[in-house]
Every structure is written in structure tokens, then in C-alpha cells.
Amino acid sequence: MSELFSPLAIRSMTLPNRLVLPAMVTRLSGEDGLVNEDIRARYTRFSKGGVGLVVLEAMAVHSAKSGPLLRISSDEFAPGLSDLAKRCHAAGPGMVVPQIIHFLKISRSGWRQTVDMLSLADIDAIVDAYGEAAARARRCGFDGVELHMAHAYTLSSFLSALNPRKDDYGGSLENRLRLPLRVVERVRREIGLDFPLGVRFLGDECIRNGYTTVDAALIAVRLARAGVDYISLSAGGKFEDARVIPGEPLYPYTGYSGDRCMPGNQYPDGANLYIPRAVRAALREAGLETPVIAVGKIGTKALAEDVLASGTGDLVGMARALLADPDLPNKWKDNREDRVVRCIYGNVCKSLDENFRRVDCTLWPKKLGQAPESHDEIPPKWAENGSRIHAEYRHGAVLVRWEKATDNEAVYGYQVFRSKKAGVLVHHASVRGVSARYEDSRVLGGESYTYAVRPYDLAGNRGPMSESITVDVPG
């Protein structure tokens, strides 16, 4: 059995496998912050797919105004959250922890509150809010709690190298750590010694003069020594380089650091793995065994296995890959990777989030609202006269087209395979079922490329490979 399916004990919880759904805002809750039917459907679907740890999307510890966002800021939210915990536990083997967040004020005028505007009383109130929310998480029946110290939010802004405070909460690294450590200490006091406490923070701020893995390694050691049970590492997602749109509040994922947070298809697979590699090595060197969650465009079983085998991480986080196919863990476990519906990293989900619209995957059939579920075993097929695949070089790209396949349920998409110089065909991209074309702009003059496509259905059954076609790109 793959190491990915070995259990891992984290304080009082034992994860059944090494696969983690990192927090992913869904915009499915209303501005009331309450758990609703859509939220229940989304998370039970993830649990059912077999993931070892479900981290529920960021939920607010305080009552500040925001767009649609879950809340855990008062007992009013507890019944919905308890029910969600129960349903996720019933749906699958994985553990469930909420990610809890504090954020500062922001307005459409372009103004935003920064950490240097907070009084000492405001800082004390943040500590209290985290403590109360974490205690509530425990009462709600979750298996642990994760503190959000990443991206553009309050605790991350204290950790940031750009923290502008001039007092004991800014300047030196120890000062930048002061509030995050106070929060850890208070939360631990509230939740007790047996309840797992995770922290998510940035391994690299990915902004000019921001901190990198050099500081992140020290932050991790300090947090682990303070009793944090797991460390989840993210990248970027900052206000400092966000796109300015007059009349709109700044959104922290619109600049380069936002790209680095959710690396799109222009980035190599495993784009952020240098982060957990460096941070985990620093923890081990300090004699700390704290598990590390590695994240960032990990979409294949081979890469996930390599994360563990190479000591890059102890757990493999996959946000978009699991959004595209929540059944991925069960499919990998059953050695059915060939049935996984692969994320194409086009980041439609990211832009939905940016625009405060419900976060669905572009691959899902329209209006379904959740990933499709099918146990059908009949694969799609090509028409009698085959796929009629055609490819030509035009305006700097190869355009590949084919006739649509058919399926007893529905063709969900096509995998595009490519080889160079008639070598082995490897998966190159996937396109949605409504399309029967793919434009490949990653071609070099003087090379020849061979293409073939394979249809897949809602259950992920792959149909037969099409005929192949070779194109010579002019030198």
C-alpha cells in the first residue's frame, strides 16, 4: 500500500491517510455566516471521497462585516457547525477541523486598516476572540482547530516582514511573533492539552521585501515549540501587490503574490514545494517532529508520493485537485488514478472567489452546484468513424480538433496527450466536455508534436485513445 494511505497520529486525532483538503472558501454561506444546505453538501462530498483531513474554509472569530463567509464568533453558529461536524464524520473516514480567521477592516474607497492602527486593547480582543472561537470549535465536535496566520489576514500581517508597528508587536522577528504566540497560548489554554491545534502560515510572502523561507523556518520552529501540532504552509496572497480597481475593495489574490498562492497552469507542478522542504528540514534540525502539510499544485499520485518519500512534507494538501474530483483519495487508494478527473489549474474557481460568487469547479456539469457523483462503469466511445482528430499549426500555436465522443451518461471532458518527436504520449492538458478543441501554445519551431485525446465520463471512466496526429512546427 502506498505510504499516502498510512495513518498519522496528531495529538488526539489519527488521520486515516496523508491527504488533506486545505481550507478553501466556497462563498456558499450567506452574509449571515450560518451553515446551510450547500455547505453541508460541499463538505460531506469531500469527506465521502476519502480525504484524511478536511479543513473547513476560513470562518470568522469576530463579528466584523464581510461578504459571504462562515462564522464561529458566537454560540448562534454552534448548532449548524456541530451538525456539519457530525455529517462529515458520518460521510467518510477523515478528521474535520475548522480554519479560524481574524481579518481587518477594508473599504471600497481603497482604505484598509493595517496592524499599526490597532490599539493594545484591540490586540487583546483578538486574543480573546481566537480563544473563544477555538473553545467553541471543540464544543462543536470538531477533531481539532487550525489558526489562519496566512495571506492578507491579521495574524499574517503581524508575522509579515512589512509589519509597520513600532512597539513590541513589530520590528524584530520575536516581536512579529508576539501576537501569534499569544494566540497559540490562549487557544491551547481554552482547548486543553489533548485537542489538536494546527497553524497555517506563509512560507514565502512572495512580495517585495516580504519574508521568505528563511524567516518561515524560524517561525515554524517557534510555533512548534509553543505546542502547535501541525504546520500547513501557503504562499503569497497579499494586499501589498493587489490590483487596484477604483470603487472596489482591494482583493489580496489579484497580484503576483495571488498567483503564487494558487499557482495556475503557467506554473510547474509542485510549484511551492521548496517551501515545505526548507521549513520541514529546519524543524527536524531543531529536533521537532511536527508534521508539515505541503501544498501547491500537487495533482498526481506520483508527485504526492514523492512529497512523502523525499521528506518534503508529512501530509499532502490538495485544494483545487479535490475540488475538481473529491473522489480522488478513494480512486488513488483503489489504484484507479486513471479515473481521476484532473484539475486543469485554469483558476476559474479562484476568480469566482475573487468576485464573491459561489466557488464551483468549471469542469462540473453546469447547474449541478457540486462535483458529479456516478458509479457508472461504461466508458465513453468514439463514433463509428473514429475521433477524426485533426491538428494544424496556426499563428504560433497548434490547434487540435476532434469529433465529440458519446457516453451513456455524459462526456465530462477530454484528456489531451502529447509527445515530442513521436516519443511516448503523456497527459498534457484536459478540456471540458463541451469543447472538442485544444490550442497548444507551448510549442517550439523546428519540433514535431504528436497528439491524441481520450474522452472521460462523469465517473471518470476513460474511453479509448483517439487516433494520433503529428504536426511539424515550422522552424
Please choose which of ligand FMN, ligand SF4, none residue 58 contacts, taking the beta carbon within 5 to 8 angstroms, the exact cut-off set by kind.
ligand FMN
Which is closer to ligand FMN, CB of 200 or CB of 280?
A: 200
What is the distance of C-alpha 216 from the center of its chain? Answer: 19
Please choose which of ligand FMN, ligand SF4, none residue 147 contacts, taking the beta carbon within 5 to 8 angstroms, the exact cut-off set by kind.
none
Of residues 204, 203, 210, the one with CA closest to residue 161: 210
Q: Does residue 318 belong to the site contacting ligand FMN (CB under 6 A)?
A: yes
Answer left, alpha or beta for residue 156, where phi above 0 means left and psi between -120 and 50 means alpha. Answer: alpha
Q: What single string gives the DSSP state of each residue in 160-206?
A: STT----STTSSSHHHHHHHHHHHHHHHHHHH-TTS-EEEEEEEE--
CB of 344 to ligand SF4, least distance (A): 4
Taking contact as CB under 6 A, which single stretch among the options 82-90, 154-162, 314-322, 442-450 is the one that binds ligand FMN? Answer: 314-322
Q: Does residue 297 belong to the site contacting ligand FMN (CB under 6 A)?
A: yes
Q: Does residue 23 belong to the site contacting ligand FMN (CB under 6 A)?
A: yes
Residue 120's alpha-carbon distances to 171, 182, 235, in angstroms, are: 16, 13, 29
Please choose which of ligand SF4, ligand FMN, none residue 324 contacts, taking the beta carbon within 5 to 8 angstroms, the exact cut-off set by kind.
ligand SF4
Q: Does residue 301 belong to the site contacting ligand FMN (CB under 6 A)?
A: no
Q: Contact at 8 Å (CB) between 179 and 171? A: no
Which is closer to ligand SF4, CB of 320 or CB of 454?
A: 320
Q: What is the rounded distance in angstroms from the CA atom of residue 322 to the CA atom of residue 327? A: 7
Taking contact as CB under 6 A, which single stretch among the options 116-124, 161-169, 296-304, 429-437 is the one that binds ligand FMN? Answer: 296-304
Q: Which three cell numbers stand for residue 130?
A: 481566537
CB of 433 to ligand SF4, least distance (A): 13
The arrangement of strands across the sheet holding 437-440 comes to: 390-394, 397-401, 437-440
Q: Contact at 8 Å (CB) between 399 and 391? A: yes
Which is closer to ligand FMN, CB of 73 or CB of 461?
A: 73
Q: Does residue 99 belong to the site contacting ligand FMN (CB under 6 A)?
A: yes
Which positions lie near ligand SF4, rule CB under 6 A? Answer: 320, 323-324, 343-349, 361-363
Please choose which of ligand FMN, ligand SF4, none residue 57 contacts, taking the beta carbon within 5 to 8 angstroms, the exact cut-off set by kind.
ligand FMN
Helix (H, G, I), strand (E, B) or coil at 449: strand
Long-range contacts of 402-408 (CB under 8 A, 24+ apart): 402/436, 402/437, 402/453, 402/466, 403/436, 404/433, 404/436, 405/380, 405/381, 405/455, 405/463, 406/380, 406/381, 407/378, 407/379, 407/380, 407/381, 407/455, 407/457, 407/463, 408/376, 408/378, 408/457
Of residues 81, 215, 190, the one with CA closest to residue 140: 81
Please choose which of ligand FMN, ligand SF4, none residue 200 contacts, taking the beta carbon within 5 to 8 angstroms, the exact cut-off set by kind.
ligand FMN
Q: What is the rounded distance in angstroms from the CA atom of residue 235 to the CA atom of residue 271? A: 10
Which is closer to ligand FMN, CB of 52 or CB of 455?
A: 52
Q: Contact at 8 Å (CB) between 233 and 276? A: yes
Which is closer to ligand FMN, CB of 237 or CB of 372?
A: 237
Among 95, 321, 340, 431, which residue interacts with ligand FMN (rule: CB under 6 A)? Answer: 321
Taking contact as CB under 6 A, which single stretch among the options 73-81, 202-210, 291-299, 455-463 is the one that binds ligand FMN? Answer: 291-299
Site string for ligand FMN, 231-250 (x = CB under 6 A): ---x----------------
Estimate the share of the chain in helix, then strand, then coil, as percent rounded to the nearest 5. Answer: 30, 20, 50
Q: What is the rounded distance in angstroms from the CA atom of residue 11 to the CA atom of residue 173? A: 28
Among 152, 319, 363, 452, which residue interacts with ligand FMN (rule: CB under 6 A)? Answer: 319
Please choose which of ligand SF4, ligand FMN, none residue 363 contacts, taking the beta carbon within 5 to 8 angstroms, the exact cut-off set by kind.
ligand SF4
Taking contact as CB under 6 A, which single stretch among the options 161-169, 190-198, 292-300, 466-474 is the one that binds ligand FMN? Answer: 292-300
Partners of residue 457 on adjacent β-strands = 411
CB of 66 to ligand FMN, least distance (A): 12
Taking contact as CB under 6 A, which single stretch among the options 38-46, 166-174, 313-321, 466-474 is the one that binds ligand FMN? Answer: 313-321
Residue 318's alpha-carbon distances to 4, 293, 294, 388, in angstroms, are: 13, 10, 9, 36
What phi and psi values does residue 148 have, to the nearest 5 degrees?
A: -85, 110
Site string for ligand FMN, 115-154 (x = CB under 6 A): ---------------------------------x-x----
Taking contact as CB under 6 A, which single stretch among the options 123-131, 312-320, 368-376, 430-438 is the one that binds ligand FMN? Answer: 312-320
Which is closer to ligand SF4, CB of 33 or CB of 346?
A: 346
Length of the chain: 475
- Give the interface with ligand FMN as residue ranges (CB under 6 A): 22-25, 57-58, 99, 148, 150, 200, 234, 261-262, 295-298, 317-321, 349-350, 353, 359
